[in-house]
Structure formats: structure tokens, C-alpha cells
Structure 1
């Protein structure tokens, strides 16, 4: 189940609202970075409040950082491969490269 479905719409955390409000294809290029920054800010707040201990905080930061980096690298590799394929493949009549 999605984390977004765990809360009623008016009680969503700020970083979940920004993640849910825009479909993937219409997000600006910096949206993932903004969501990452909001999530880190929220985790820091939970740590300061004492809700998270040091070990949990460190583990969560490592996990979201790794996930963020994986997504960024994947997008860049996809972009490079798409450009290379568009150059290498001849145009086929009636077919458009996605």
C-alpha cells in the first residue's frame, strides 16, 4: 500500500503532498530534489523532537540518499541512451521513437 493512502488527504505530510500533487510526467526537473530536501528536513525535525533516535535517523538518511542517487543516475543514463539510440537508429517510416 502506498504511504499516501495511510493518511487522509488533509493530514498528509508536506513532502507527501508535493510528491502526490503532480503526476510523474508533468513534474519539473527539480521536483525530485525538492521532495528529497523536504523529506530530509522532516527527518531532521523528527530527530530534534526525539521521535527518531540516532541509529534510525542515520539509517533513514542513508536509505533515502541512496534511493535519490539511484533515481538521478538512472535518469541521466536513460537520457544518454535515448540520445544515442536516436542517433544510431535510422528513421523507420511510420514509426516514431518514444
Structure 2
């Protein structure tokens, strides 16, 4: 019984570590999805050749990779940056 009580903090720490990996998971998915939609709209509107569009495409690809490896904080940041560059592309910059 004593051995089980000694293991309780270790189990709690492991479970907490697992829970921490899911922080920003939904935000990551939402941002990546929105960025892809906005990129498609920009392409349809003829902005696919701009530098900002190219930067956005690279950032979305990076965000998607980070989503796959569960690096959700970086995913959110890159997807948000991509959305910024998409807006810049559509504004002609």
C-alpha cells in the first residue's frame, strides 16, 4: 500500500503532462482552417503571385506540420501570421 501512495505524485505528473499537450489544439485547428479558406479566396481573386501570398502559404504549411506533431502554440502563431500575410496579399502589398 505504501508503494502505491508513493507512486501517486508520479502518476499525477504524467497525467498533467498529457493534458498540457492539448492546450491550443482547438485554436490551432480553427486558425489553420480559416487560413486555408482565406488563402483559397485570395487565390481565386488573383493574388496567388504576390510575395505575401507565398509567405502565407509557407506559414500555413509550417502550422499544419506543427499541428501534426502536436506543437499547438507554434501552430497557432504561424497560422495567425499566415492570415496577416493573406490580408496583406489581398491589399496588394
Bucket of the pairwise TM-score, normalised by the shorter protein: 0.3 to 0.5
* Higher RCO (CA 8 Å, separation ≥ 6 residues): 2
So what's the TM-score if we normalise by structure 2? 0.34
Name the structure where helix makes up a greater proportion of residues. 2
So what's the TM-score if we normalise by structure 1? 0.32
